[in-house]
Structures are given as structure tokens and as C-alpha cells.
Chains A and B, each alone.
Chain A
Amino acid sequence: MAELMKVLGIWLGAYFTLSIFSFLYKDNPFYKLAEQIFVGLSAGYWLIYTIYNILVPNLFNLLFTDFAHNWLLLIPMLLGIMMLLRIIPSAQWLSRYPIALMVGTTAAIYMLLSFKSDFLAQIAATMVNPFKFSSPVDVVGTILLIVGVLCGVYFFYFSKKQEGVFAIPSKIGIWFLMVSFGASFGYTVMARISLLIGRLDFLLRDWLHIIK
């Protein structure tokens, strides 16, 4: 039975892989079916996952087994119920409170986190004396780092028209950004190719047994 299920799983995997690949030609019924099964299956999977891995262990179990120490969980539970009230038109307005709370706390938490890690840490990391290095490569690299950071930041300065002399650092900044995007593009494409190889490996090894 287990062997049959394994074979069935491989055949289904191969069928859906080919159905998704068929989109490379054009939209067709095989792709549509695969897409809709994928969307429906994943929505159902995440619903069950949320209930059994988030709601049950983090809320219901704690409330039912040790209410005295976990009664504060009633607050997020109440906020969750307020969100669900969206389905009742007359009580829809109540869902705005959890949304507002979520947006406000998110902004506040991220402001502090980003300020420390993205702002101060990166400013400090750019404060380097380029001439402290003995190797010319390091000296040039550090100068490029400093120029790139300063011009890159200036590119996003919106309060000044970028014309005349003020356009120069901005243009240098966008060049630095584009070079970094190019490098990032190449790097990510390489990673995607490995995903394709993984799929082809599945088709040729597990399904067709062409590769041993």
C-alpha cells in the first residue's frame, strides 16, 4: 500500500509539474486545473495549519489548561473576534481597532529595530578610514564603498531638484544601485536555475528513472 501511494505521489507530482510547465507555451486547461488545485489545496492546508499550530497551542490549550496564568491571552482573542466581526455588516466598524493596533505597534517596533540595525549600524560601518589599509585594492574598495553609500543615499533625497551640480551625485548613486542590482540579478538567477535542476532531477530520476 505504501509503495502504491509513493508511486501515485510521484505520478501526480510529475503530472502537476508538466501541467505548470505547459504555461510556458500558453494558458491551457492543464495549467488551469493545476493552478486551481494548488490554490485551493494551499488555502485549505494553511487554514488547518493555522488552527492546529497557532490557535490551539498558543491560545486554546493555554486558556483551558492554565487560565489563571494566561488570562491576558483573552485580549488577543478579543481582538481576533473583533476582526471576525467583519462578516456582520452592522459590527464591521469594530474590526478597525485590531487593524489600527496592528499597524501602530508594527510601525513602532520596526522603527526601533530598523533604526538600530539599518541606520546606526550601517552608518558606523561606513565610517572607515580608507587610507589605513596597506593594500591598494582595499583602499580603492573602501573609497568606492563610501562614495557608493553617500551617493546612493543622496539619490533618495527628494527635497532638491536633481539638476546641475546636484545631479552628479545622484547619477553616480543610480549607477552604483544598478551595478548592485545587476550582481543581485545574476546571483538570484543562479539560485533559480538550481530550482529548475531540482525539478528536472525529479522528472528524470524519480519519475522516468533515466538518471540512476
Chain B
Amino acid sequence: MKRIVLPLLLALLSVGIGGVVPSAAPFSAEDAPWDDGTAVVLAWNLDPLRTSLSLQKADSLGIFQEISNEFALTGGYKDSGLEADAEYRYRLVAYNKDRSDSVSFTAHATTRQQWFSMQKLSLLILLAMICGAILYYIFHARRGKNLFIRRISGLDSMEEAIGRATEKGKPILFVPGISDLGDIQTIAALNILNHLALKSAEYGTELLVPCRFSMVLSAARETVKEAYLQAGRPDAYREEKIFYVTDDQFGFVAGVDGIMLREQPAANFFLGAFWAESLILTETGFGTGAIQTAGTGQPHQIPFFVVSCDYTLIGEELYAASAYLSRDPQQLGSLKGHDFGKLLVIILVLTGIVMEMAGQGWFKQFIAGGN
């Protein structure tokens, strides 16, 4: 255990102090520690007569080319972007005031790849803490412990919107964003779609889901089908109501606008990733008189949703929606774990500010990644 912990602590200290440690020798070159073998750390310690320098690296022909001339009597330089497992040769030429005299030092180093990048230690620790908290709360929730989640008004409106569509006998429109399945917002939107489809199956309300990408289409169909099965209404599931429009961004918008005008859905849900088309969609929906709920993690699009929709889910609320709506212990536990992460952010920021005020810059450097 000691053999693992001690080097880790030493490396952590080296990260905290900084990437380049001044050398006692006139000039040294060493492989950068705890990296992917793409950097060499150079350090020098010159006599006080020197007033300028030229730091050079040998190219493939062995000719030295200047890479820096920033002067410091005791200093360092990190040469990055190198190839792993290759030898590099360096020369330092230091001049006196009138450049009549100079001294030259050479050094060489071989880059080596390490298994662990100590620059990412903070990432590992915080990730482990948050994942640990999520797992803890999930197990906690599974044991039947009641987990409190405050009211989110944008989500409470969903029931109201579905109810209104049912009363009017009109469909519900759900747009899972315009991003592909590779976007976490689309996945969050599909989680909400599951809940919405469950309700629409229970109430017997038609649900329309236009999709921009084939992968999203497949996932949306699976989601809705699963929800209808869960509600005990597999016979009511209509695959053709979850359909592909086009891959083109504004072509998709034109198609959805047409659907809103002709099908006149009573409730529109725009949840997922949206870009320039957000206002075009919600303005058309507003014109048709539908009750609209929108949510996205795209900060630039939220204002458009705020002005044109009845309810807006801002950023994180989109990700919390699924847990909030389903009250599923697993998802609630996960949401509680995220909340732990938010508290951690507040604590870390406050600690970092205090440390900065106390002149202890190593803490910020450690959190940022030590580069």
C-alpha cells in the first residue's frame, strides 16, 4: 500500500508546486513526469553574469533551432507536443550583458509514457466522490428511504398539458430536440418521453414524435412502445406516429411547423438540444394556441423558450425531469447524487477563493489539472 500511496503523494505535491521545478544543475532535461510521454521539462540555473539566453532544440538533422529566449537566471520550460519514446536533445546558450561572452550547455531526455496522468488526479477524486454519492443515494432509495425533491413548476405543468390535450381530443406533440443520440440532452428528452408516453397511453391521447435522426427515431419508438406496454395498452401503440422528417435542420423545422398548423396539437413539448430553430418552432406553436413546455441545456436558446412558451425547463431541470416525474428510486437516487455534486462545487469554489486570498495557488492549480 505504501508503495502506491507514497509516489502518488509525491506526484501530487509536484503537481501542486507546478510543472517546472528549478534545477540545481546549470541545465537539465527530464521526461515530464506522469504524462502520456509527449513533454520534456527543461530547467536551468545560471550564474548572475548572464543577462539573456537562447534555448534550442535539435531538429531531425541534429541542427539546433531556438524554441525560447525568455530570460530568467533560474527558470524552466516545458516542451510539449512531442512523440512518445523518442530522444530529444536541447542546448542552452547564455550570454553576458554585451553578448561578448557566452556559455553553452547541452542536455537530452527520452520521453516516456506513464500509466497514470497525475494532472487528472483531481478529476479522478471528484468523479469518484460524485459517483460514490450517486451509488449511495441509489442504494438508499432502493431500501425504501423517502428522498425529498423540491417542486419544479415546469414539470408539474406536464400533467396539466396532457389533461388539456385529452379534454380537447387533440394530439400531443413531442420534439426530442434536433441533436442525435450522441447528445446527452437527447437521452434526457427520451427519458421524459417515456413518462409522457405512459400518460398519453393511460389517457388514450394521441402522441406525435417527429425525429430528425434515424438513431433517435429508433430509440423514440422503443421508448414509446415500452411505455405503452407498461401502461397495459400495447394495442394503442402506433409506430407511424413516431416518424422521421429529414436530417436537415431547417427542413425539419419546416416539417414540424407544418404538423403544428395542420394537426393543431393541444400541447407541445420541445425538450432536448435546440439551436437556431428554437424560436421558429415555439412561435408557430404559440400561434396555434397550444400549451407549450420547452427545455434545453443550450444557454443561448433558453431565452427564446422563456419568451414564447408557457413553461421552460432551464438547463439542469431538463436532466432532473425524468427522476422528478417518474419518482423512480433509482433515478431519484441519481438526482440526489447530482445535488451532492452541486454542493461540492459550492464548497470547492469557496475554499478555492479563500486559498487564493491566502496566497495558496496550488489548490486552484490542482483542481484545474496542474498544467
Measured CB to CB, the residues of A under 8 A from B are 20, 23, 27, 32, 34-36, 38-43, 45-47, 50, 83, 86, 95-96, 99, 102-103, 106-107, 110-112, 114-116, 119-121, 123-124, 126-132, 146, 149-150, 153-154, 156-162, 177-178, 180-182, 184-185, 187-188, 192
Cα separation A161 to B339 with both chains bound (whole Å): 13
Task: Indicate whether B99 reaches chain A with its CB closer than 8 angstroms.
Answer: no
**Quick one: which of B184, B336, B349 contacts A146, CB cutoff 8 A?**
B349
Q: Taking A99-B181, A182-B303 as contacts, is the C-beta distance between A128 and B342 under 8 angstroms?
A: no
Q: Taking A157-B343, A159-B148 as contacts, is the C-beta distance between A124 and B184 under 8 angstroms?
A: no
Residues of the A chain whose Cβ atoms lie less than 8 Å from the Cβ of B214: 83
Q: Taking A106-B182, A181-B306 as contacts, is the C-beta distance between A45 and B342 under 8 angstroms?
A: no
**Quick one: which of B219, B258, B368 contacts A35, CB cutoff 8 A?**
B258
Cα separation A149 to B350 with both chains bound (whole Å): 11
Residues of the B chain whose Cβ atoms lie less than 8 Å from the Cβ of A187: 300
Q: Closest CB-CB distance, A58 to chain B, in whole Å?
A: 16
Q: Taking A116-B123, A146-B349 as contacts, is the C-beta distance between A106 and B299 under 8 angstroms?
A: no
Encode contact with A along B257-292: 1 for CB under 8 Å, 0 otherwise.
110011000000000000010010000000000000
**Quick one: which of A110, A130, A162 contacts B150, CB cutoff 8 A?**
A162
Which A residue sits closest to B352, measured CB to CB?
A: A127
The reply to whether A159 and B349 contact each other, CB–CB distance below 8 Å, is no
Can you list 11 A-B contacts (CB < 8 A)?
Answer: A32-B258, A35-B254, A39-B251, A42-B248, A106-B184, A115-B123, A120-B369, A126-B352, A156-B320, A158-B320, A181-B299
Residues of the A chain whose Cβ atoms lie less than 8 Å from the Cβ of B364: 124, 127
Chain A facing B: main interface SS: helix
**Quick one: which of A42, A115, A149, A161 contacts B251, CB cutoff 8 A?**
A42
Residues of the A chain whose Cβ atoms lie less than 8 Å from the Cβ of B336: 159
Q: Taking A102-B182, A121-B368, A185-B304 as contacts, is the C-beta distance between A129 and B314 under 8 angstroms?
A: no
Q: Closest CB-CB distance, A199 to chain B, in whole Å?
A: 13
Residues of the B chain whose Cβ atoms lie less than 8 Å from the Cβ of A132: 356
**Quick one: which of B150, B218, B352 contacts A124, CB cutoff 8 A?**
B352
The reply to whether B245 and A36 contact each other, CB–CB distance below 8 Å, is no
The reply to whether B300 and A188 contact each other, CB–CB distance below 8 Å, is yes
